[in-house]
Structure 1
């Protein structure tokens, strides 16, 4: 490899730092940071099995763990921290199948 003089080394450093700054500015403009809301998911269940329709509302709020939610069912706290698959399991158990008549 060839040796670089001191002047050439400074120019290389300047051009690299300029390229990094330009790339960072482009990333900041194209990918703005999005703030996630506290209410992550809303599940509305309407049950027609009884004589008249009954609607339940599940509100899933953000917690400190990834893929865990604080769940309110009809505005009452159901679980402080629960995962998505366990939420679906709870819905399945709470709304069992009915016999065909």
Structure 2
């Protein structure tokens, strides 16, 4: 393990204090300094209503924040569908959930 100088330790302490201060301001929701508030867990909600079978059928996709930036946790009608999935695979799932129907008349 490398030794850290006293000057370097002071620099690390100052950086840690500034990060903690910024995070506290973010948690308070202070926007005067231009800091954005934390995003909500629910990121998107997609409601698909299908009228193909003669009666309306609504499927609700709730897209929540996941542990990765480019992935989401998805609930379909309140039940967990995927714990971590990308947006393109969510759209693929919507496409597959709504099959084509022939004309009724």
* TM bracket, shorter-chain basis: 0.5 to 0.7
The alignment's TM-score, normalised by the length of structure 2, stands at 0.64
- CA–CA separation in structure 1 for the residues paired with 2:50 and 2:61: 14
Corresponding residue for residue 25 of structure 2: none
Aligned counterparts of 1:48 and 1:92: Cα–Cα separation in 2 = 15
Aligned length: 74
CA RMSD of aligned residues (A): 1.6
Deviation at 1:36, TM superposition (A): 0.3
Task: Structure 1 unaligned segments of length 5 or more: list them.
Answer: 1-27
Stretches (4+) displaced over 3 A: none
Gaps of 5+ in 2: 1-30
Equivalent residue number for residue 85 of structure 1: 88
Of 18, 32, 35, which residue of structure 2 is paired with 1:32?
35
